[in-house]
Structure 1
Amino acid sequence: MKRPVLEIRDLNVDYGLGDDAVHAVRNVNLTLHRGEVLGLAGESGSGKSTLAYGITRLLPPPGVVSGGSVLYHPSGGEPIDIMALTPAELRRFRWAETSIVFQGAMNSLNPVHKVSTQLLDVIKTHEPTMSRSARLARARTLLKMVGISADRMDSYPHQLSGGMRQRVMIGMALALEPQIVIMDEPTTALDVVMQRQILRQLVELRERLGFSVLFITHDLSLLVEFSDRIAIMYGGRIVEEAPAAALYRDPLHPYSDGLLHSFPALRGPRRELTGIAGSPPDLRAMPTGCAFHPRCPKAFDPCAGELPVLGAPPVPDGRTRTVACWLHPTKDTAPLIPAPRK
């Protein structure tokens, strides 16, 4: 089995405090293994970005991690609880061990500083003894690694195309060769041709450098091509997790099936796009039972009253996947209800 590099255990993230707090992430458990790409998919408002900011402790106020732990497993040594790091330890940890590529590169890069300045700042902060010439050489190598000519070092962000700015962000994220790269919808603002170019380059870099990727997007079609495993998030919870090929071939949760039928297939026969009726739930007033049941075409009696447990389903490949759905009850919940199949 692959060794874990990041373990998220019972993580809860709230916005606000007390009785008025909005529970944006609820009891999330995920494991990212060394060298793999874990995709995280779901509609806007499902809690994907909040989860990313929670595990990196970048939540803006009034966001707060209200429970759980995030364990980082270095290549040597004992696991580190990111939630317990002091501000000084957290500053050393970020970029060196884990980095993040945000959704909008134009909002992440400082518009009044050259690309070279922003790359060199990252390296200088963590490698203060490195000479300026060595830092410049490292910055040129990073740009070359992501397919940008070194003569663009002195360009400002507005002088670069959207794809080039995103490549600069990826290069900056890899500046200190971290073990984990979190990508929060990094290709959303790009056209499909540029999306594929950047993802292809990211795959090559991952194979060369061996880092792990948590890739967050609402576009499940990207994850099917790019990820080793995919976790589906809805209403702040993980509702299904499976190998990418298994999820594409046989999604168990109706929400996963709805996402897969919301984009056209690139190959094979034509299929009807059905989409998902309704809107994501209001986190301030979540439905009882399964949060998806008001929109689910397969909902039946238990769905509205009982919250399904995320666990291994009784299917042939059940050991490699989990699902939280009364259509596929786990071993512990099977005696409670009849289990109609799809």
Structure 2
Amino acid sequence: MTRRPVLTISGLHVDYGTGPAAVHALRDINLTLHRGEILGLAGESGSGKSTLAYAVTRLLSPPGVITGGDVRYHPPQDGAGPVDILALTPRQLRAFRWQELSIVFQGSMNALNPVHTVHSQLTDVLAAHRPRMSVAQRTARAGELLALVGISRDRLGAFPHQLSGGMRQRVMIAMAMALEPEIVIMDEPTTALDVVMQRQILRKIAALREVLGFSVVFVTHDISLLIEFSDRVAIMYGGRIVEQASAADIYRDPHHPYSDGLLHSFPALHGPRRELTGIPGSPPHLAAMPSGCVFHPRCGRSFDPCDRHVPPLAAPEATPGRSVACWLHHAAPGLASGPASAPDATSTTRTA
């Protein structure tokens, strides 16, 4: 059965600044989010994950600017054509946000207004997009939203500082669900929470997805969360996507050395013990990117073309259904034997 796309991103480029001094934060991003899918977006800090989330929702702050590509939303109605999000006018964009696409911001304490009650902030969304709803109907809907995320309705009168970190984050999720959008983008919603609360919120998101049928883009640096929670995972490094595959494939057989390094940075819950190796070095500065593959200065498996040629993000011949940007899995330019000439060209296989 062919899955229908709900969001397609094609050739997206984002810069900070203009002219020769511009910093290229995102380069040629291509992603498809399918209806009802949870797509995980992983990578170290500075890899471009949040920039991508804000570019898609057109919430980039100056000097951020989208310099190329397009982002299209595909409505569920039969016969309705795709919506070019980047071409929406301010008025159209105001109607589109929260109605079709919503976002759960990183840091719930900073995202919620500290001088307004939960009731005020939830009903404000409803008043802006459902002006015909009465005050009583908006209050009733706000109570339903809190109950949906496991918070008692009597907390509607509470201020953000009167709630725990996990409750504040769930209020943000409730706000994102207010108009039952088709897409919810979650920008590291569990970063500041303890591991117990992280799992509770993830289970709540998964349960809501089953009930409401929305699609999720889940942004985090913690790939272990994505392996457990996502249907598919896209790995970002240096403003590019370097690998896309199902969560199970990424876990069992990561093709890109960076993906493998991320997976070796957290302990396995099952199977034999293994040493945590991490990734040597630091992510590149976006204003001084290395030539060729951006990961090659930190890669223990780089070979001749890696420092000179940018690898394409494409499906390896032996493993269709996934894509990877690495010369270990594509015919390397200038080498007659291709990636077989590279040292240690095999991936590390895991047991689930």
What is the TM-score of this pair, normalised by structure 1?
0.97
- CA offsets, 1:26-64, max 9 Å, x none? 000000000000000000000000000001100000000
Query: Deviation of residue 334 (structure 1)?
Result: 8.6
Partner of 1:156: 159
Query: Deviation of residue 268 (structure 1)?
Result: 2.0
2:224 aligned to which of 207, 218, 221: 221
3-state SS in 2 of match to 1:320: coil
Is 1:93 aligned to residue 100 of structure 2?
A: no
- CA offsets, 1:99-135, max 9 Å, x none? 0001100000000000000000000100001111111
- CA offsets, 1:229-262, max 9 Å, x none? 0000000000000000001000000000000000
3-state SS in 1 of match to 2:297: coil
1:111-130 equivalence runs, <5 A: 111-130=114-133
Query: Deviation of residue 314 (structure 1)?
Result: 2.1
1:129 partner amino acid: R
- Matches of 1:99 and 1:142, distance apart in 2: 15
- CA offsets, 1:57-100, max 9 Å, x none? 00000000010000000011110000000000000000000000
- Give the CA RMSD over aligned residues: 1.3
Query: Deviation of residue 271 (structure 1)?
Result: 1.0
Query: Deviation of residue 337 (structure 1)?
Result: 3.2
**Aligned CA distance change for structure 1 residues 72 and 334 (closer, same or farther; 3 Å):** farther
1:275-294 equivalence runs, <5 A: 275-294=278-297
Q: How many residues align?
A: 340
- Matches of 1:333 and 1:98, distance apart in 2: 45
- Matches of 1:132 and 1:338, distance apart in 2: 65
- Matches of 1:263 and 1:12, distance apart in 2: 31
Is the 8 Å Cα contact of residues 7 and 32 (structure 1) preserved in structure 2?
yes
1:217 partner amino acid: T
1:52-91 equivalence runs, <5 A: 52-76=53-77, 77-91=80-94
1:261-340 equivalence runs, <5 A: 261-315=264-318, 318-329=319-330, 337-339=338-340, 340=342
- CA offsets, 1:116-162, max 9 Å, x none? 00000000100001111111110000000000000000000000000
User: How much identity, in percent, do the aligned residues show?
Assistant: 69
What is the TM-score of this pair, normalised by structure 2?
0.95
Point out where structure 2 has 5 or more consecutive residues left out of the alignment. 347-352
- CA offsets, 1:164-208, max 9 Å, x none? 000000000000000000000000000000000000010000000
Is 1:175 aligned to residue 182 of structure 2?
A: no
Query: Deviation of residue 335 (structure 1)?
Result: 5.9
